[in-house]
Chains A and B, each alone.
Chain A
Amino acid sequence: MARKMIGFLLVGLIAFPLTVLSQEGTTIKGTVKDNEGNPLPGANVIIEGTTYGAATDMNGQYSFRVPATFARGQEVQMLAKFIGFKTGSASIRLDPGEIVQDFQLEIDVIGLEEIVVVGYGTARKEELTGSIRVVRSEKMEQLPTSSFQDILQGTPGMQVVANDGAPGAGISVRVRGIGSISASNEPLYVIDGIPVISGSVSFTDFGNGGRSSNVLAALNPNDIESIVIAKDAASTAIYGSRGANGVVFITTKGGVAGSAIQWARGPKLEAKLQRGYSSFAFPNLLKGLNAQQYKELFIEGYVNSGKLSAQEAEERFQKLYPEADQTNTIWLDEITHTGITDQLDLSAQGGGDRFTYYVSASYFNQEGVIINNFFRRYSSRINLTANLTDRIKIANNLNLSYFKQRGITDGTRWQSPMYNTYLLAPVIPVFDEQGQYYAKHKSFFMGGNNPVGHLNEDKRDLEQTRIIDNFLITYNLARGLDFRATFSFDILNVDEYLYVNPRYGDGRNVGGAANESRTDIINWQVNETLNYTRSFNRVHNVDLLVGFEQQKLFTDNVEDAGEGFPHPSLKTLASAANPTLAVSLRSESAFQSFFSRANYNYANKYFVSASFRRDGSSRFGPERRWGNFWSFGLGYTLTEERWFSNRIKFFDYLKLRGSYGETGNAEIGNFPWAGLYGFNREYDGQPGAAPSQIGNPFLTWEKQQNLNIGVDFAFWNSRITGTIERYIRNSKDLLLDRPLSLTTGFREITQNVGDMRNSGWEISFEAEALRRKNFNLNINFTITTLKNKITRLPEPLQAGHFRREEGRDFYEYWLYGWAGVEPETGDPLWYTDETKTEVTNNIGKAKRFYDGKSAIPDYFGSFGLNVRYRRLSVSAQFNYQFGNYLYYNPGWVIHGDGRFTPRSTSLFAFQNRWRKPGDKALFPKFMWGGNKSSNVRSSSRYLFKGDFIRLKTLRIAYRLPDIYAFRIGAKSLEAYVFLYNFFTWVADQYLHFDPEQAPNGIYNTVTPISKTFTFGINVGL
């Protein structure tokens, strides 16, 4: 039999005989009700310490047969679980025949009984010594945004921002600050137990360097059951060298996770329909000039600079803009329209005691606020579970998705629509007299870019196909002991296509240009675990795990480019006269890991946990190939102590916990340790080689030492619950490019030399403020404080607007100090140094200095409420952030006071410029060619307070009486309106761009974030 079992596991599911069930077993049945006596459908009833049990049906009834492995007459403990209720228990004796056991469950506001996903398993929330946060499916339903990541904003300890506002754009997620300088700061994403590829794998990314595409946009947020964010060492160290930036566990509906206890649910068929309209979320965006204003400024710029008289300037204006009299192009209006979002989602969920399923299909289409910019996704999911025998269970989760994204080349490039909006003269028409996009300005104006033409005629497409599948088999070896094996693959295929036309813009000198790229990624993974969970004498609860995992990732890319397109309708590379690029790239990486974890608690009172992982990675040299990662945690539930609860009645629940451990960050690219010769050299038609990288065999992963101390509490009959946590995250051995003597032949070498600390507090409260039969009001509040400090840096590093120095904040600005405009002359003024005592109009006499301003917020979080009144529910969430500063990167051009002849500027600059002596102006005298370097880059002139409060979501839903639903053949019917990013308050009145910017605080004329008004219906069938 043993051999047979092994054979089975190795060969797969071939002709396995279903075990015939014993005819004279025991059947247990009964009803589960809530505290008010209403039946609870979907509650789980289980024999403690086993996976045997059943879920209740619509009437709260359950029934299951006890497997024959139990001895006749054995005493077992029965547990009844339902989210939001305390677990009910009963002791029964297994005699043949039918046993009836009913349960009535008490409300549990704290959610201690909640089963949450942890690395390679599940756990009761109560047992955890680490820091996690759970986000439930209701927040993810029908999100009017392409990725679920966006909704994680407001979660304690997390900074989440969209890299830009175009549909499908990437999202930056930081868990407890920035832990790395050169390597990735993004968390690890684990879907149904499988670490998946995240971020961008794009090669062209519409020209945006990986910011504007997101492979996780493949996932349909409606399929998500829950998201668990693991933040401290106790919860992330089991992921070893990949846990340093936190782990985001995503569990799909009916998906396999953890010990994979799957419960039958009544068949549930749902159809969800939604329509939404969007516009830019931030009301105070800059506006461009109109034709008359531009002309005034054009002449003023020449007169002020002394280059031309007013008369001559007027003549020049007529010569440059012959169509000026009939033209008044408001470029922002030309490139924007009302964005439309459409969503349709169909899902079915159900099963019996041997078989469960979740299937879904969805369509999501979002048209951006900028014209010809969209994200269109088709996806489906099949999650199946089958209990083949009492001991063997198999499951398969399959997700297929395809999306097409038409992006925007943005930033401060000449094609960038949001850049052109302010710089292009409003006297340039959109079309010429032949009806073609206007291009006559190409000899003197930003390469003749025409943003409307560029958006409509040029191409910027990305198509992604992704298949994520994981197959799982669980074998119950003995009571409490499960063997589990998971085989998974993640296949990603990304096709990209860029084209610029030959008439105007970036393709004008080369007869048009196109670039096509194909990227294939295959990520396969195997993991095997043994898990032993058992309770001894009712008080000693043990959960042990050992496991093995290996992973390999292959990437293939082919990229071709060409120039010279003979005809406007021919845009593929076959028509290119001059091929300019044909490359293929290949890369691989592999991980091999052994891990274990032990959790023990005594009577749910004292908790101890420890984990260990040993990781090997191809990314490191043979000298540093293997690393060890570990964690240790303790918990103590005071309210379980008689001496405490007898004396201090105030608390219904009080738990202290702490953890410490070390994780790693291996996201440092492949082969950074190796001394390499590259073959990208060519001379006179012959291929050449040159040293491309210095070897450093001791290069290793970055380390993270995390300390977390927390208190979970509940009082006022558990109507107020909350958590307070203190975290200290010490990042060690950070990779830095250190400058070398250039005489070595290299400019820098990457070494593990930096240290950084992120520390702060996380506080969250939830209160059931009102509890009536037909009326419920919940309010919630979270706040996170964050302090960042570079604790070791061998030499200061200057990086753009920042300068990194030991003892300072990583994102502390280092800028010239703007001192305003001299009222008599309209000259720019700067402080000479950090004392701010002296001003000068000569930038050469001013120095850059620190001013205590950073892109890292002092605190951020969310607050919100949920109201339920009869069939009406309202939920709102506000997110906020305070204490950070944002940098307006294109300021030196858009607000350059005429530095770049003859580029236009913003209405704000126009209205606030200096015009005559005595003016107290915000902007200096406008002069073509510039005004005394008034537009110097890296000046505090372009720095703004980032404080904001935003109404992230507001959902008002009404559940129609079932009678109406029945009339149309449905079981339930809900209609709602859902407002996304709808209201924004900012502290700085001069802030003219959206306050939600990338973690480095730099706004670079990317597409602004949208607000969306949606309405929809959910039909239960």
Chain B
Amino acid sequence: MKSLKPWKQTLIIMSLALVVFGLGCEKNLLDLTPHQSVSDEEFLKSLSDFQAAIIGAYDQLSIPDWYGRYMLLVPDVMGEDVKQNAQANRAKEWAEYNGSITTTHRIDREFWAEIYEGIHMVNRIINAEFEPSEAVRDKYNQVLGEAYAIRALAYFDLVRLFAQHYTYTPDASHPGVPIVLEFDINQKPARNTVKEVYDQIISDFEKAISLMTIDPPNAGRLSKEAAQALLSRVYLYKEDWAKAEELATAVINSGKYTLVSRDQYLTMFFPGLSSEAIFEMVYTIADNPGSNHLGGMYKSTGYGDYLPSNDLISMIDDNDIRKGLFIYDPELPGGKWGNLRVNKYPSSGAEIATDNIPVIRLSEVYLIRAEARAHLGNEAGAIEDLMTIRRRAWPEAPQVTATGQELLEEIYKERRIELCFEGHRIFDITRQKKDLVRKDCTAPVCNVPYPNDLFILPIPFEEVNVNPDIAQNPGY
């Protein structure tokens, strides 16, 4: 190491620098990928990706802020079949028609955000460029059909919650919700009319019906018949009686569903997947929603915020199995609150909150057809469908002989009893253009005349703040 010549020294330094720097510099060091997620550019490239993505969309449908709880709770607390318990915190402002939002859990915002998130999830599936091989084409089409059906259902839920019903204006030109079919981060869409939204819903359901050819493993997944059943409901709301009747008949005649027997009626949703289930949300222990499940809103083991009202209970004959949907709870204060609780979702103990939640089932399809037939003048057919549902629960029920409006009232009454606590009530009131009248009432507001701005939810202010083109609903 003694006194090296300068040039030699330089050589050493240069080669050292080269070797060391060159060795140290690992080429792909910075190209890392996440372990818990997949880049969206790498996803939706195979059938299994599509299958995972559609499961994600079903999961989205099943969250407490959509079908897991509020999609069924809010339309009922806005009606007269339930009343508030002494301390009711959740969904309180909708039960009380405050016109303002006082609770911290913003149901208006959560509906809006979560349903649009679901729409985004299925838009990605629908818009993904993918050419399936012949071997998997049917399976791919089935997933695609499910995606279209979920999108249709999502828009139907949005337009029911945030817009007045279809016949509010003669041509349904009143504001609906923005239709978003493509992803654009900068979008600030205006509202489409209710007619445009319904047209989109119908087109999506029809597309779904045409794509789906495979029977799903259970009613937890959408099928061709489920899409038909939901579309018949859409036509019912649209008052297109002929189409509603036609699709309902197609579902009933498919032979895939039978009404459950009277003995099994009370356990229809727990354990669930009964013979009449067409589409329902499936819950298992792994979902673990605890008190945030729909049943928790009614039961003492959950929040127990809402109780059944006498308006509903008094309509049900003592021999009707459906009177068994209510159970006595001695812990309730009594008096105007009474001592009955809703037990339609009866899970308890270790299996608590694993009741399935109905989206559509065969008895609703019968009642849709009954209503449509009554409007179409086929009153005998309407009565037949009505009695099928009523006598299933109450075999001794007297034969209905009413006609015209009276027959319709019988059908509406049956809808109320049969579909109670399944999230239909406020929509049935408004599409019939009736006032809300609560006789057994614990809320500050007991009468809400039709028409009313407060029958629908406000566009959440988070959307209004960001989106100058969106019009707020009047009254908020």
Q: Are B8 and A2 in contact (CB under 8 A)?
A: yes
Interface string of A663-692 (1 = CB under 8 A from B): 000000011001111111111111111111
Given contacts A683-B55, A688-B56, A742-B112, contact A586 B36 (CB under 8 A): yes
Residues facing A in B1-36 (CB within 8 A) are: 1-4, 8-9, 11-13, 15-17, 19-21, 23-26, 29-32, 34-36
User: How far is A143 from B31 in the complex, measured between Cα atoms in Å?
Assistant: 43
B127 within 8 A of A: no
Q: Which of B26, B189, B286 contacts A550 (CB 8 A)?
A: B26
Q: Is the CB of A779 closer than 8 A to any CB of chain B?
A: no
A678 touching B37 by the CB < 8 A rule?
yes
Given contacts A678-B36, A743-B180, contact A684 B20 (CB under 8 A): no
Does B392 touch A at the CB level, under 8 Å?
A: no
Cβ < 8 Å to B, chain A residues 295-339: none
Q: Contact between B20 and A485 (Cβ–Cβ < 8 Å)?
A: yes
The answer to the question of B326 belonging to the interface, with a C-beta cut-off of 8 Å to chain A, is: no
Contact of B185 among A550, A589, A692, A744 (CB under 8 A): A744
Which of the 9-residue segments B113-121, B132-140, B250-258 touches chain A? B113-121
Task: Report B-chain residues with C-beta under 8 Å of the C-beta of A585.
Answer: 35-36
User: For the complex, what is the distance from the CA of A528 to the CA of B38, rounded to whole Å?
Assistant: 35
A691/B121 in contact, CB under 8 A: yes
Interface-facing stretch out of A127-135, A370-378, A476-484, A800-808: A476-484
Query: Is A690 a contact of B20 with CB atoms below 8 Å?
Result: no
- Among B17, B52, B112, point to the contact of A687 (Cβ < 8 A): B52
Task: List A contacts of B38 (CB < 8 A).
Answer: 676-677, 679, 689
Q: Are A739 and B462 in contact (CB under 8 A)?
A: yes
Contact assessment for B55 and A676 in the assembled complex, using a CB-CB cutoff below 8 Å:
no
Cβ–Cβ contact A745 & B36, under 8 A = no
Specify which chain B residues have a CB less than 8 angstroms from the CB of A617 in the assembled complex. Answer: 30
Known: A69-B2, A530-B13, A616-B30. A741 touches B53 (CB 8 A): no
Whether the pair A526, B36 counts as a contact (CB closer than 8 A) is no
The smallest beta-carbon distance between B307 and chain A, in angstroms, is: 21
Distance of A691 Cα from B127 Cα, bound (Å): 14
Residues in B with CB closer than 8 Å to A742 are 109, 112-113, 116, 460, 462-463, 466
**A9, A685, A690, A739: residue with the most chain B Cβ atoms closer than 10 Å:** A690
Q: Which single residue of chain A is at the shortest CB-CB distance from B52?
A: A689
Whether A743 touches B19, Cβ cut-off 8 Å, given contacts A671-B34, A691-B121, is no
Chain A minimum-CB-distance residue to B282: A684
Binds A, one of B39-47, B234-242, B367-375, B434-442: B39-47
A548-B24 contact, Cβ under 8 Å, with A589-B32, A742-B462, A742-B463: yes
B124 at the interface (CB under 8 A from A): yes
A975 in the interface (beta carbon within 8 A) = no
Query: What 0/1 pattern do residues 542 to 570 of A give for CB contact below 8 A with B?
Result: 00000010101000000000000000000
- A676 touching B16 in the complex, CB below 8 Å, given contacts A681-B59, A687-B55: no
Chain A: CB-nearest residue to B13: A477
Taking the complex as formed, is A588 at the interface, i.e. its CB lies under 8 A from any CB of chain B?
A: yes
Contacts of A589 in B (CB 8 A): 32
Q: In the complex the two chains form, is B58's CB within 8 Å of A688's CB? A: yes
A616 to B25, CA, bound (A): 12
Residue B49 CB within 8 A of the other chain = yes
A677 with B37: in contact, given A590-B29, A745-B117 (CB under 8 Å)?
yes
Is residue B84 within 8 Å, beta carbon to beta carbon, of the partner chain? no
Given contacts A526-B24, A679-B52, A688-B53, contact A592 B29 (CB under 8 A): yes
Question: In the complex, what's the smallest C-beta–C-beta distance from A548 to chain B, in angstroms?
Answer: 5
Q: Is A618's CB within 8 Å of the partner chain B?
A: yes
User: Given A389-B1, A679-B38, A743-B187, are A618 and B30 neighbors across the interface (CB < 8 Å)?
Assistant: yes
Which residue of chain A has its CB nearest to the CB of B218?
A684
Contacts of B11 in A (CB 8 A): 2
Q: Does B184 contact A (CB under 8 A)?
A: yes
Flag whether A625 is at the interface (Cβ < 8 A): yes
> A695 near B: Cβ within 8 Å?
yes
- A679 neighbours in B (Cβ, 8 Å): 36-38, 52
- With an 8 A cutoff between CB atoms, is B173 at the interface? no
Give the contacts of B275-321 with A (CB-CB under 8 A): 282, 284, 286-288
Q: Quote the shortest CB–CB distance from A100 to chain B (angstroms).
A: 27
Q: Is A391 an interface residue (CB 8 A)?
A: yes
Judged by a CB distance under 8 angstroms, whether B399 is at the interface is no
Contact A684 B56 (CB under 8 A): no
Tell me which residues across on chain A come within 8 A of B8, comparing CB atoms. Answer: 2
A68-B2, A389-B1, A528-B24 given; A690·B35 CB < 8 A: no
Partner pick for B16 among A6, A670, A689, CB 8 A cutoff: A6
- Cα distance A741–B117 in the bound complex, in angstroms: 11
- Asked if A681 and B56 make an inter-chain contact with CB atoms under 8 angstroms apart, the answer reads yes
The smallest C-beta distance from B449 to any residue of chain A, in angstroms, reads 26
Question: Which residues on A sit within 8 Å (CB–CB) of B118?
Answer: 745
The digit string for B465-476, where 1 denotes a CB below 8 A from any CB of A, is 111001000000
A19 interface residue per 8 A CB criterion? yes
Nearest opposing residue in chain B for A5, CB measure:
B12
Contact A9 B16 (CB under 8 A): yes
Shortest CB distance B53–A (Å): 5
Query: Do B21 and A548 touch across chains, with their CB atoms under 8 A apart?
Result: yes
Question: Are A528 and B187 within 8 A (Cβ)?
Answer: no
**How far is it, in angstroms, between the C-alpha of A670 and the C-alpha of B24 when the chains are bound?**
23
Contact between B32 and A588 (Cβ–Cβ < 8 Å)? Answer: yes
State in angstroms the CA–CA spacing of A745 and B113 once bound together: 7
Contact yes or no, A689 B49, CB < 8 A: yes
Find the residue from A526, A674, A743 having the highest chain B CB count within 10 A.
A743
Q: Is B25 in contact with A592, judged by CB distance below 8 angstroms?
A: yes
Q: Within 8 Å CB of A483, what residues of B? A: 13, 16-17, 20
Q: Are A587 and B23 in contact (CB under 8 A)?
A: no
A223 vs B218: C-alpha distance in the bound complex, in angstroms?
A: 67
Tell me whether B57 is interfacial, beta carbon within 8 Å: yes
B79 within 8 A of A: no
With a cutoff of 8 Å between Cβ atoms, the chain B residues found around residue A539 in the complex are none
Cβ of B183 < 8 Å from any Cβ of A?
yes
Nearest chain A CB to B348 CB, angstrom units: 13
The smallest beta-carbon distance between A506 and chain B, in angstroms, is 13
B465: A residues at CB distance < 8 A? 739, 795
Nearest-CB residue, chain A, relative to B291? A509
Does A184 make an interface contact (CB < 8 A)?
no
In the complex with contacts A741-B189, A743-B178, A745-B117, A682-B15 CB distance below 8 A: no
Among A573-612, those with CB < 8 Å from B are: 578, 580, 585-592
CB distance from A186 to the nearest CB of B (A): 23
Tell me how far the C-beta of B39 lies from the nearest C-beta in chain A, rounded to whole angstroms.
6
Question: Chain B CB within 10 Å — which of A390, A477, A742 has the most?
Answer: A742
Judging by beta carbons under 8 Å apart, are A691 and B55 in contact? no
Chain A residues with CB under 8 Å of B41's CB are 675, 695
Interface residue A970 (Cβ < 8 Å from any Cβ of B): no
- Please, how many angstroms separate the alpha-carbon atoms of A764 and B78 in the complex? 67
In the complex, what residues of A have CB within 8 A of residue B3's CB?
69, 71
Give bound CA distance, A483 to B54, whole Å. 58
Across-interface contacts of B175 in A (CB, < 8 A): none
Contact A740 B34 (CB under 8 A): no
A608 to B257, CA, bound (A): 86
B100 CB to closest chain A CB (Å) equals 9
Is B463 within 8 A of A685, CB to CB?
no
State the CA gap A637–B29 with chains docked (Å). Answer: 45
B24, A744: Cβ atoms closer than 8 Å = no
Would A746 and B120 count as touching, CB distance under 8 A? Answer: yes
Closest B residue, CB atoms, query A689: B52
Tell me if B188 counts as interface (CB < 8 A to partner A): yes
Q: List 19 A-B contacts (CB under 8 A).
A: A2-B15, A9-B20, A10-B19, A389-B1, A528-B24, A585-B35, A592-B26, A674-B37, A677-B40, A679-B36, A681-B59, A683-B58, A683-B59, A684-B220, A689-B52, A740-B185, A741-B466, A742-B116, A795-B465
10 cross-chain pairs, A with B, having the tightest CB-CB distances, nearest first? A745-B120, A688-B55, A690-B56, A688-B56, A675-B40, A586-B35, A676-B37, A683-B58, A681-B59, A689-B52
- Extra contacts, 6 of them, besides A681-B60, A695-B41, A745-B183 (Cβ < 8 A), are A483-B13, A578-B350, A586-B36, A683-B220, A744-B116, A746-B185
